[in-house]
Every structure is written in structure tokens, then in C-alpha cells.
């Protein structure tokens, strides 16, 4: 592989020769034409049904529309941030319980992790939204979305952290132990900091999942981006316009998170490679 930028494509295929290059050019042109045709068909469809009418788009010329979208985005970001922090904290505890020396804790942590990973987020949301109130647990809507999203993400987080910790060479622990360090010190000062570095990119990628899960906020009537978009749609009937704008916002944010993950991955990979 040629260095840090080798992709799976470079691994699977040889560098293209002249014949392959012609074929690639051909496929590229055909794909672009097909894509253009598809887009044209879609736009035509919207035109016919009147979705391109200026009255649906003029709302985006108004400051209040953007302020409303901005409030929704802020709500989304708050839930995403709180969920990420909670999922990390809970994931950390679960990981430690899973690797510690007490069998009971190992088993309990494994069980919780499997539940967290195996149950869809929506089910956790229904639990806090529909079931919990019957037992007298009345939560504000912020927590009705944040808790289930965190619970849904903590299992994956725990497993990511565990894979990092397991990847730290045994010799690191042995060296620390033979210097007389106790197990808590060995874990927190030697093993965890290294294992954590290995999985930073994975953890950031998981933030994308958390971020997408926040769109369930509409189920619990929490004013996130999605919820406010729905309000706009029902007020102005501007289905296409609003969804398009909101989709672009989600794409941009997830793109930024992925970009961050890629940057961090490149850096940590360089650091890990240098450490070997």
C-alpha cells in the first residue's frame, strides 16, 4: 500500500492502464448522464405538482423562518451534545465493568451492552415516552429524547472503548506492574490513554449516529430541527423546500463530523504507526 492514503480501492484494483482508463471515462459519462436525467425528471415532477412555485420558497427570504430553523438546530445540537457526553460516560463505566476482575460485574455489563446495542432507539424512546409516565416518571421532553439516544449509543461506545483497551500491547501492562504500579494506576495512566487514542476516530463516527438519532425528537414533541421543519411545512405547505433545506443542514453537519473523524484518524494513525 502506498502510505496513509491507500484506500480499499487501491487494495482491490491495479492502477488503471490506457484501456481501463477509457472504460472509466465511458462509465463516468454514462453515470453523469443518467444522474442528470433523473434530476431533470424529479424537477419536472415538482414543477408539474407546483412545488417549485415561488410562494413555497419565499419563506426562506424571511429572517423569522431562519430564526425558527436556527432554534430547531440549537435544540438538535443540545440533544446531540448531551447524548454524546452521557453515552461516553455510561460507555466508559460499562467498559470498565466489563473488563474488571469481578465476574458479576462483567456479566451485568455484558448484558446491558447487548441490550443497548440490540434494541432500536425508537423502542427506548417509547419506553420513556409512553411507559415511564405510567410509573410516575414524568420527564421534560429534552430528557425524553436525550436519555433514549444516550442509552442506545452507550453500548457501542463501551465496545469501541473496550476494543481500544484490548489493543494495547500486554507488555505495557507488564512494564507498569513490574514497576510496582497498582491496577487502577496501570489502567488509568498507561492502558486507557493509549487504548482511547486508537478509537477516537470510531467514537467520532458514532457521533454521527447519535446526531441522526436525535431526529426522533419529533416523537416526543421536542423542538429540534426536524420538529420545527414539520411546523414550517404545515404552516406554509412547503414540503419540498423545507425538507431540502433541512436535509442540506444535516448533510453539512454530518460531513463536518466525518471530516473531523478522518482528520483525527489520519493523525492518530500516524502517531500509532510512529509508536511501532
Partner 1 sequence: MSNGKIISQEPIIELKHIDKHFGSLHVLKDINLTVHKGEVVVIIGPSGSGKSTLCRTINRLETIDSGEIVIDGSVMPKEGKKLAELRSQIGMVFQSFNLFAHKTILDNVTIAPRDVLKKSKREAEEEAMQLLKRVGVDSQAGKVPAQLSGGQQQRVAIARSLAMHPKAILFDEPTSALDPEMIGEVLDVMTELARDGMTMVIVTHEMNFARRVADRVIFMDGGSILEEAAPEEFFAAPKTQRARDFLNSLGDRESRS
Interface residues with partner 1 (CB under 8 A) are 169, 171-172, 174-182, 185, 189-190, 193-194, 197, 274-276
CB 249 within 8 A of CB 100: no
At its nearest, how many Å lie between partner 1 and the CB of residue 179?
4
d(CA 96, CA 100): 6
Of 187, 167, 168, 165, which Cα lies nearest the Cα of 176?
Answer: 187
Task: Estimate the crossing angle of helix 141-167 against helix 63-99, to 10 degrees.
Answer: 40
- Name the residue nearer to partner 1 (CB basis): 48 or 274: 274
Q: What is the dihedral sign for C-alpha 234, 81, 90, 156?
A: positive
Nearer to partner 1 (CB atom), residue 173 or residue 202? 173
Q: Of 103 and 182, which has the nearer Cβ to partner 1?
A: 182
Closest to partner 1 by CB, 181 or 239: 181
CB of 161 to partner 1, least distance (A): 16
Q: Give the largest Cα separation in the chain, rounded.
A: 77
Judged by beta carbon, residue 15 or residue 274, the one nearer partner 1 is 274
CB of 180 to partner 1, least distance (A): 2
CB 171, min distance to partner 1, A = 4
Q: How far is CA 65 from CA 14, 155, 230, in A?
A: 51, 38, 12
CB closer to partner 1 out of 25 and 175: 175
Count of alpha carbons within 13 angstroms of residue 133, beta-carbon side: 11
Residue (64 or 178) nearer to partner 1, CB: 178
Q: What is the DSSP letter of 188?
A: I
Q: Which residues contact 71 (CB under 8 A, 6 or more apart)?
A: 223, 228
Least distance to partner 1, CB of residue 265, Å:
17
Smallest separation, CB 173 to partner 1 (Å): 9
Smallest distance from partner 1 to CB 101, Å: 10
Taking the complex as a whole, the smallest distance from the CB of residue 229 to partner 1 amounts, in Å, to 44
Residue with smaller CB distance to partner 1, 51 or 163: 163
Torsion of CA 29, 30, 32, 37, to 10 degrees: 140
In the DSSP assignment, the letter for residue 119 is: S
145 vs 83: CA distance, rounded Å: 9
CA-angle at 236, arms to 59 and 129, nearest 5°: 115
Amino acid at each position: 500500500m502506498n502510505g496513509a492514503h491507500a484506500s480499499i480501492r487501491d487494495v482491490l484494483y491495479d492502477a488503471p492502464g490506457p484501456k481501463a482508463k477509457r472504460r472509466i471515462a465511458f462509465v463516468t459519462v454514462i453515470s453523469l448522464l443518467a444522474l442528470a436525467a433523473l434530476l431533470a425528471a424529479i424537477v419536472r415532477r415538482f414543477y408539474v405538482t407546483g412545488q417549485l412555485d415561488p410562494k413555497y420558497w419565499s419563506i426562506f427570504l424571511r429572517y423569522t423562518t431562519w430564526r425558527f430553523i436556527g432554534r430547531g438546530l440549537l435544540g438538535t445540537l443540545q440533544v446531540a451534545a448531551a447524548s454524546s457526553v452521557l453515552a461516553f460516560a455510561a460507555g466508559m463505566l460499562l467498559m470498565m465493568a466489563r473488563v474488571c476482575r469481578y465476574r458479576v460485574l462483567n456479566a451485568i455489563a455484558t448484558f446491558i451492552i447487548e441490550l443497548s446495542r440490540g434494541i432500536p432507539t425508537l423502542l427506548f424512546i417509547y419506553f420513556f415516552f409512553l411507559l415511564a409516565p405510567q410509573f410516575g416518571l414524568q420527564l421534560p421532553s429534552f430528557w425524553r429524547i436525550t436519555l433514549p439516544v444516550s442509552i442506545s449509543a452507550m453500548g457501542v461506545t463501551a465496545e469501541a472503548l473496550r476494543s481500544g483497551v484490548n489493543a494495547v500491547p500486554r507488555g505495557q501492562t507488564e512494564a507498569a506492574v513490574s514497576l510496582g504500579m497498582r491496577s487502577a494506576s496501570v489502567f488509568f495512566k498507561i492502558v486507557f490513554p493509549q487504548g482511547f487514542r486508537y478509537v477516537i476516530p470510531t467514537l467520532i463516527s458514532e457521533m454521527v449516529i447519535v446526531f441522526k438519532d436525535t431526529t426522533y425528537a419529533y416523537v416526543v414533541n421536542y423542538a429540534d430541527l426536524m420538529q420545527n421543519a414539520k411546523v414550517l411545512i404545515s404552516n406554509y405547505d412547503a414540503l419540498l423546500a423545507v425538507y431540502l433545506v433541512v436535509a442540506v443542514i444535516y448533510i453539512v453537519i454530518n460531513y463536518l463530523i466525518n471530516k473531523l473523524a478522518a482528520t483525527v484518524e489520519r493523525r492518530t494513525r500516524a502517531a500509532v504507526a510512529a509508536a511501532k
